[in-house]
A = this chain, B = another copy of it.
Amino acid sequence: MAVTLADVAARAGVSSATVSRVLSGNYPVADATRNRVLRAVDELEYVVNGPASALAAASSDLLGILVNDIADPFFGIIASAVQGELEGRAYGGPVPQKLAVVCNTGGSPERELTYLTLLQRQRAAAVVLTGGAVEDPEHSAALATRLRRLAAGGTRIVLCGRPPLEDAATAREARRGTSKRTASSAPVRSQGAAGAVLTVAFDNRGGAHALTTHLLTLGHRHIGYVAGPAERTTTRHRLEGHRAALEAHGGLDADRAERLTVHGGGYDRSSGYEGTRELLRRAPETTAVLAANDTVALGVCAALREMGLRVPQDVSVAGFDDLPFSADASPALTTVRLPLHEAGARAGQLALGTLPPPQDGMAAMGHELVVRASTAPPRAGG
């Protein structure tokens, strides 16, 4: 039924090997022959059989991207940037040659594992994992093992916006108060060597630090934090940055910090809404709220508005990420801009191998404090 290489070969009067060589372009073919083949391809409207080609060549031109939620612009922007790198790498033209498989994991480690298997089944050339990892000893260990094995097997693995594998292991131990390492738990090296798991990291600590410092400088002393889910690395890192800033600015009252921190169930608007109600119930003296991210900040603002509090006159609000809508929100959000597009592009290049991997296997991205209308000095000076 379908046109095959042999059909093209017959029409061009050559062998199928020659046709294959013309199409893959990695073997010298005389110009006259090439033209004949190309014409036959055109005339027959031949389309390569990808699976057959992948089987024979033991590699496919599929690249997987794992995201928490593709409907969230945070991930949409990263995915889009990764995709952008899949183009123009063609032998002979600025045409996309690889296909991106986008997988919604909803942030669940099980789903990540499942999709990893599916991607492995497809013999994907590379996999980019985005979004903070869940700090679940069981799953993250399983995930790390799988990733390392895949990487060792030749699949390029890039973590984008999640901590390097080692860090996760280290963190886990740190949380358990076990700083010494047994031989068996010594993390496998994930350095820049071939087959390594590469990382493109955001500076969540630094960003939260900058934001908190900004609020402190404005004069705020009662800064609430409507954080993301407690088990996510991103949440932890941002909280760490926040607390480090508090500490640097005249000591940190751990109990108070604890009371002023509310963990949401997710990174969505309603988490911000619910979280804010809880926060203000616990600590009505709050004059500023740091949100887990911009989307959450929208929910924070909505809740405050509903409670009759004005932003920023009564309460300042800050987001994180600087998504496109943040500048147009009401009021425009003070936030930290993460170079999402750049990070995605970098991850894509690393995944394709068009960018040499960094020395230590990790590329750190910067951040930028963006001050807009949602933050202002507290009303009564604190």
**Residue positions of A touching B, CB distance < 8 A:** 2, 47-55, 60, 62, 64, 69-73, 76-77, 79-80, 83-84, 95-97, 99-104, 111, 114-115, 117-123, 153, 269, 295, 298, 301-302, 324-325, 328-332
A95, B76: Cβ atoms closer than 8 Å? no
- Bound-state CA distance A293–B256 (Å) is 45
B329 touching A332, Cβ below 8 Å = no
Bound: A242/B228 CA distance, A: 43
What is the copy number of this chain in the assembly? Answer: 2
Find A49's partner among B80, B123, B325 (CB 8 Å cutoff).
B123
**Nearest Cβ in chain B — how far from A63, in angstroms?**
10
- Distance (Å) between the CB of A186 and the closest chain B CB? 23
The residue from B71, B115, B331 contacting A73, defined by CB atoms under 8 A apart: B71
Closest residue of chain B to A63 (Cβ to Cβ) is: B101
What is the bound-complex CA distance between A125 and B47, given in angstroms? 15
Residue of B nearest to A333 (CB): B328
A49 touching B114, Cβ below 8 Å? no
A329 contact from B72, B103, B118, B329, Cβ within 8 A: B329
Residue of B nearest to A298 (CB): B328
A-B contact pairs, 28 of them (CB 8 A): A47-B120, A48-B121, A50-B123, A51-B52, A51-B53, A51-B60, A51-B122, A55-B55, A64-B99, A70-B102, A71-B79, A72-B76, A76-B76, A79-B102, A83-B102, A96-B111, A96-B114, A96-B118, A99-B101, A99-B115, A99-B122, A100-B103, A325-B325, A325-B328, A325-B329, A328-B330, A330-B330, A330-B331
Chain B: minimal CB distance from A42 (Å): 13
Most buried by B among A80, A117, A123, A330: A80
Q: Which residues of B contact A60 (CB under 8 A)?
A: 50-51
**Contact in complex: A95, B114 (CB < 8 Å):** yes
Q: Which of A77, A84, A101, A111 has the most CB of B within 10 A?
A: A101
Residue A80 contacts which of B104, B111, B324 (CB distance < 8 angstroms)?
Answer: B104
A295–B330 CA distance with the chains assembled, in angstroms: 15
Question: Which residue of B50, B103, B153, B331 is within 8 Å of A99 (Cβ)?
Answer: B103
Q: Name which residue of chain B comes closest to A115, CB basis.
A: B96
Whether the Cβ atoms of B80 and A71 lie closer than 8 Å is: yes
Measured between beta carbons, the chain B residues less than 8 angstroms from A120 are 47
User: Are the CB atoms of A47 and B121 closer together than 8 Å?
Assistant: yes
Contacts of A83 in B (CB 8 A): 70, 102-104
- Name the B residues within 8 Å of A115 (CB-CB): 96, 99
B residues near A101, Cβ cutoff 8 Å = 62, 99-102
Contact A71 B62 (CB under 8 A): no
The 5 closest A-B pairs by CB, nearest first: A330-B330, A51-B54, A325-B325, A71-B80, A71-B76
CB distance from A54 to the nearest CB of B (A): 4
Residue of B nearest to A52 (CB): B55
Known: A96-B103, A325-B329. 16 other contacts (CB 8 A): A47-B120, A51-B51, A52-B55, A70-B79, A71-B73, A71-B77, A71-B79, A79-B102, A83-B104, A99-B115, A99-B119, A99-B122, A101-B102, A295-B324, A298-B328, A302-B328
Complex CA–CA separation, A53 to B51 (angstroms): 8
A120-B3 Cα distance, complex, nearest whole Å: 12
Chain B residues near A118 (CB-CB < 8 A): 96-97, 99
Please name all residues of chain B whose beta carbon is closer than 8 Å to the beta carbon of A295 when the two chains form the complex. 324
Report B-chain residues with C-beta under 8 Å of the C-beta of A76. Answer: 70-73, 76
CB distance from A319 to the nearest CB of B (A): 11
